[in-house]
Structure 1
Amino acid sequence: MLKKIGFIGTGVMGASIVRHLLKAGHQVAIYTRTLEKALPLVEEGAILVASPKEAVAEAEIIFTMVGYPHDVEEVYFSDNGVFAGGSKGQVVVDMTTSSPTLSKRIAEEATRLEMHALDAPVSGGDVGARNATLSIMCGGDQDTFASVLPVLETFGSQIVYQGTAGAGQHAKMCNQIAIATNMIGVCEALAYGKKAGLDLETVLESISSGAAGSWSLSNLAPRMLRGDFEPGFYIKHFLKDMDIALQESDAMNLQLPGLSLARELYHELISEGYGSKGTQALYCAYQ
């Protein structure tokens, strides 16, 4: 069934998701702080509005995909935000990688307003967004999840209900921890192979399909070798995710030394001006 959708945030992944929704026939009203990001989508049929509140006005489902937890808080709780324009029965779906605590707060406010909320962070980067193969990790009411699932299937291929509010964000932290430590392994393998005088393309041919195989090794290592560090996912946003994961692990009295090392290496890259590059730019630290 076609829906009226509000979509807030049209960055690297958000723009591709909006395109899939439009191609599926949904009516999509978009809000973004950067006008030039919206214009190509308007040409493809999206309706540009002036605030998150306006994006919510006629929507049945509202998706948000912004940068940081403080952006999420502003989008939902400001005077021109989602909840200021929300009404009974609407569903809000935050796809930003944010804090589980904030997701629970959003769910509580949605319940107070007789709305419904899901936290639904995604994994797969620019490639997954373009190809509609995103992995989507969902937390919230299970009936709400079931009602939104057909729309999520427009741009995701691995869509899993994780549990109550905040569970989607916790699952995404697991995802980011695995990526962070794996990226160190990918970079160090390439650095070792280069130092040993090997042909790195040939090395990848051997190790990508074996026990060392991973999404990062298959998809990002070739970009590293080409010197392509353009973002599928920004380092500055990845650092935010690692900070959230470390804060949550500290609260659970859990030590994650691998994640701590990755955070240190990425923080150094940001200090060197790589914050708007893709996560594969960690390879530069080994050059």
Structure 2
Amino acid sequence: MKIAFIGLGIMGSPMAVHLQNAGHDVTGYNRSPEKTRALVEAGGTAASSVADAVAGAEVVAVMVPDSPDVTEVLAGEDGVFANAAPGALVIDFSTIRPDVTAELAEEARDKGFRLLDAPVSGGEAGAQNAALSIMVGGSAEDFAAAQPVFEAVGKTIVHVGPSGSGQTVKAANQLMVAGNIALLAEAVIFLEAYGVDTAAAVKVLGGGLAGSAVLDQKAQKMLDRSFEPGFRIELHHKDLGIVTSAAREAGVVTPLGAVVAQLMASARANGDGSLDHSGLLRVVERLSGRSG
């Protein structure tokens, strides 16, 4: 298929490359043009604008940071709805507010487009290994049509309901991941305070009920104090804002989520927004009076 891919950052770039390697004809656009390099090296094409990228595309994939970015890319004056061919299938891989997704889906239908919200989980490693979990909201027919795209970038691909449902499930995912990271950070600082062999401790913890994907992927980063971003704190801060806002609207109480959201906000306020979310360890260190 002829695919336009808008947003070639940490996640979008490897996803676009996988699509190109799967035999699709991918044209990519990113506000920072140098980020199109990997796609071009894989045989894809770099576009100079969204309008240029979507010209003639059967599928338009979007992977940008936040709700205003998606709204601008899709509904802006120079965006997808104004320039793509009617009938194009638009797949939004971004993580944004469910209500914004529902509004954009309605606008897409009015303009003759099909929109799926398809946020992903798995971080940079999942994107690089084409092993993402993809939670998809939209019609069953459009979900079926998007399968070749999803199968090129993901491993666990599930249709979870109508428009907005993918974003709601992703919000729950981000709530759980943040909670796991916060507790792992507390456990690491606790173990270090007692002089335990932390590498050995992590190994045995991973073999029991405390084991998790978060422990597998983030514990070593914490032990090494190596926080090169796979998923940035500032983005998880944004996602927890989505969770707390949506929970409030639904009348749902998330007391642990509220605490973790404040810890993530503290990390960002202390200048750690560009670090991997495992850098939440630094908040626990500061609170424990153990930071350097």
Pairwise same-fold verdict (TM > 0.5):
yes
**Contact map agreement 1:69 1:102 (CA 8 A) in 2:** yes
Partner residue of 1:153?
151
Partner residue of 1:208?
206
Partner residue of 1:4?
2
- Give a deviation string over 1:231-275, Cα, whole Å, max 9, x none: 111111111100011100000111111111111111111111111
Alignment partner of 1:20 out of 9, 18, 21: 18
**Aligned counterparts of 1:28 and 1:108: Cα–Cα separation in 2:** 26
Calculate the TM-score normalised by the size of structure 1.
0.97
**Aligned counterparts of 2:218 and 2:147: Cα–Cα separation in 1:** 29
**Contact map agreement 2:5 2:60 (CA 8 A) in 1:** yes
**Contact map agreement 1:87 1:113 (CA 8 A) in 2:** no
Partner residue of 1:54?
52
Letter in 1 for 2:239: D
Partner residue of 2:233?
235
Runs of 4+ in 1 over 4 A off after TM superposition: none
**Aligned counterparts of 1:102 and 1:6: Cα–Cα separation in 2:** 22
Give unmatched runs, 5+ long, in structure 2: 286-292
SS in 1 for 2:96: coil
**Please, which moves more after superposition, 255-264 or 130-139?**
255-264
Identity %: 38
How far does residue 209 in structure 1 lie from its aligned partner after superposition?
A: 1.9
SS in 2 for 1:273: helix
**Aligned counterparts of 1:35 and 1:273: Cα–Cα separation in 2:** 27
- Is 1:219 equivalent to 2:221 in the alignment? no
Alignment of 1:71-90 (within 5 A): 71-90=69-88
Partner residue of 1:137?
135
- Give a deviation string over 1:148-183, Cα, whole Å, max 9, x none: 112211110000000000000000011011011111
Partner residue of 1:181?
179
SS in 1 for 2:86: coil
How far does residue 53 in structure 1 lie from its aligned partner after superposition?
A: 1.9
Alignment partner of 2:253 out of 249, 252, 255: 255
Calculate the TM-score normalised by the size of structure 2.
0.96
**Aligned counterparts of 2:62 and 2:149: Cα–Cα separation in 1:** 14
Partner residue of 1:39?
37
**Aligned counterparts of 2:145 and 2:33: Cα–Cα separation in 1:** 32
**Contact map agreement 2:108 2:114 (CA 8 A) in 1:** yes
Partner residue of 2:290?
none
**Contact map agreement 1:53 1:83 (CA 8 A) in 2:** no
How far does residue 23 in structure 1 lie from its aligned partner after superposition?
A: 0.8
**Aligned counterparts of 2:170 and 2:42: Cα–Cα separation in 1:** 31
Query: Cα RMSD (Å) of the superposition?
Result: 0.9
**Aligned counterparts of 1:200 and 1:26: Cα–Cα separation in 2:** 46
SS in 2 for 1:62: strand
Give unmatched runs, 5+ long, in structure 1: none
Letter in 2 for 1:109: E
Partner residue of 1:103?
101
SS in 2 for 1:241: helix
